[in-house]
Amino acid sequence: MRVVLRVSNLTKIHGRGCPECLSLTGPEHETNLCKRCGSVVACANVSFELYEGEILGILGESGSGKSTVIKLLNFEMEPTFGEAYLYNVRGAEWANGKNLFSLNSYQKRMLKNKVISVVYQNPLLGLNANVSAAGNVAERLLVSGWRNYSLINARVESLLEKMEFPIQRMKDLPKSLSGGMQQRVQIAKALANEPSILLLDEPTTGLDLSVQARVLDLIRKLHRELNLSMIFVSHDLRVINLLADRVIVMKLGRIVEMGLTDQILNDPQHEYTQLLVSSQL
Amino acid sequence: MLLRVENLSKKFEIKVGQKKLIESINGISFELEKGEFLALCGPSGAGKSSILKCIYRTYIPTKGHILYNSYEYGLVPIQKAPDWQMIRLRRKEIGYVSQFFSVIPRVSAMDIVAEPLVRYFGVDEKEARERARWLLRRLGIPSNLLDAYPSTFSGGEQQRVNIARAIIWKPRLLLLDEPTASLDEKSARIVLELLKELKEEEVGMIGIFHNEAHLKAIADKVLEVKKYE
C-alpha cells in the first residue's frame, strides 16, 4: 500500500514554551500544561503515515489534541515544529518531498483548494452563512477557477445529489437546513474539487442517531466510490470501529497507541486505551 | 509449509481497575500445509479462539513466532508484521470467520458477501452479486432475504452470511471460529461440504468445532489445546 501523507513529530505548543514543555507534559504527567512556563502542549511528536484509500481513525477525548492535528494539517495554524509530506498525490506532484509547513501561502492555498479538504463537526464552520447551500458549493468551485455558469450549476447539483441532499432545498440558506442537511452540504463543498485527502473532525457528533447513521453511510459510500484517503477523528469507538482499518489513540497531546482497529479494541495495550474500551456502553 | 506457529503464548495485562495478568495460551506450536485442515480441540477457556486471533493479529502475541508463507510477500512473521501488511493480507490472503456476526449495518446480505470481490479483487459488481447470490442460495438463505439487512436475521442465518463473506474470495488461509455452532444439521452439512471443496482447492484451514462429528468430517489433524494452569 502506498503512503500518501507522512506526518512526523508534529508539535503545537500554545504559549511561549520552554525547553521542558515536552518532558513535563503528557499522559504520564496527567496534564498538557507545562508547570514551568504555563504553556499548553496541544500535541507533541505526533508521527504517522496515511495510506492511499484508507480510513485512519484518531480516537481520543476532548483535549487529546486530535482536532489540533487536523487544524495543523489544514494549515489553520502553524506547528511549533514538525513536518508533513505528501507523496505522489494527484494534483500535488509539485509538492513531493517538500515539508508542507514550509510552503508559501499561495501553495498552501492551492493544497487547501484542491488536495486536502476538511469537514468540521460544526457544519456552520465550514459553510458561508450568507449564501445558499448551492452557493456554498459553487464558491469552492469558483476559487479553483471554474467560470462557466451552467457547468458550475450542473456540478453543484450533481454533487448535492450524490450527498443525497434534497435538491429542491438547494437555494435555502444553511441556517434554515437541519443539522444532517447542513453536514451534507459541508461534505459536498469539501469534495467539490475532488481532493485526494479528506480530514473529518467528528462529522457526526451531535447529530441525532438516525441522522448520524445516514451520514456515516454516506461517508462509507464516498470512500468506496472515490478511493479517498481519510483521517477520521472521533471520540466514539463504535464509529471508528465501523469505518477505520487502523486507529491512533491520543491522550493529552500524545499518541499512546496505534494499530489495527480490531486489535486496539480487542487487545488494547495502553492503560488509557483499556480504560476507553472498558468504558464502552 | 503455509503456516508455522512456534511456542506461541498470549497473556493479557489488565492495567485498569483490578490490575491482573490473565494467561491465555502458552507454548502452542504446529504447522499447516496448503489444503490441510487443522482442528483445535479442548475445553472452553483453553484459548482456542485466542490462537486464531493471534494468527489474524486481532491479538498481539506475548511470545513466540507465527510464520505465514504469503503469496505476495514470501515468509511473513505475523507477530511483528506492519499494520498495512496485515490489512493487505486480510484482504487478499487470510480469511476469518468469527463466532459472532461482524456487523456492517444497513448493507444487504448480498452486498456484504459481494463486497470483498468488488473492492479487493476488482470483480465487476454485477458478477460479484451473481456469485454472492449463488453462494448464499447454496447455503440455504431464502432468496427473499438476499436484499435484507442481516441484523434482522436469525443467528444461524447471520452465521452463514459470515461464512459466505469469508469464503467467496477463496483465501489461502482460512480461520474458522465455530463455523457450525449455531447451525442446524442440514446447514452444517452444507458448510462442511463447501469447506471440503476449499480444501481441494488447496486452501489451508484452522477451525474450532464443538461437534465431534463435524470435526471428524473435515479435519486432517487435531491439536489438543489444554487449559493454561
For B64-85, the pLDDT digits (tens) are 999 999 999 999 999 999 999 9
Does the pLDDT of residue A105 top 70, yes or no? yes
What DSSP assignment string belongs to A184-253? HHHHHHHHTT--SEEEEESTTTTS-HHHHHHHHHHHHHHHHHH--EEEEEES-HHHHHHH-SEEEEEETT
Which residue among B14, B58, B104 sits closest to A263, beta carbon to beta carbon? Answer: B58
So what's the pLDDT on residue B229?
63
Which residue among B57, B88, B106 sits closest to A263, beta carbon to beta carbon? Answer: B57
So what's the pLDDT on residue B145?
95
With bands split at pLDDT 50, 70 and 90, how would you rate the model's confidence at B103? low
Instruction: Answer whether B11 touches A (CB < 8 Å).
Output: no
Q: What is d(CA B116, CA B104) in angstroms, rounded to the nearest whole number?
A: 13
Assess contact for A267 and A78: CB atoms under 8 A.
no
CA nearest neighbour of A262 among B100, B132, B172: B100
H or E element, residue A20: none
Q: What is d(CA B22, CA B29) in angstroms, rounded to the nearest whole number?
A: 20
Contacts across the A-B interface (CB distance below 8 Å): 46
With bands split at pLDDT 50, 70 and 90, how would you rate the model's confidence at B90? very high
So what's the pLDDT on residue B105?
85
CA nearest neighbour of A118 among A10, A192, A227, A170: A192
So what's the pLDDT on residue A148?
93
Cell of A274: 483499556
Does the pLDDT of residue B228 top 70, yes or no? no
Assess contact for A246 and A56: CB atoms under 8 A.
yes
Lowest mean pLDDT among A170-179, B92-101, B102-111, B199-208: B102-111
Cα–Cα distances (Å) from A74 to A52, A105, A151, in that order, read 18, 12, 28
Assess contact for A261 and A239: CB atoms under 8 A.
no
Does the pLDDT of residue A267 top 80, yes or no? yes
With bands split at pLDDT 50, 70 and 90, how would you rate the model's confidence at A144? confident
Does the pLDDT of residue A64 top 90, yes or no? yes
**Min CA distance, B213 vs chain A (Å)?**
31
Assess contact for A15 and A40: CB atoms under 8 A.
yes
Which residue among B16, B88, B106 sits closest to A271, beta carbon to beta carbon? Answer: B16
CA nearest neighbour of B56 among B23, B30, B93, B20: B93
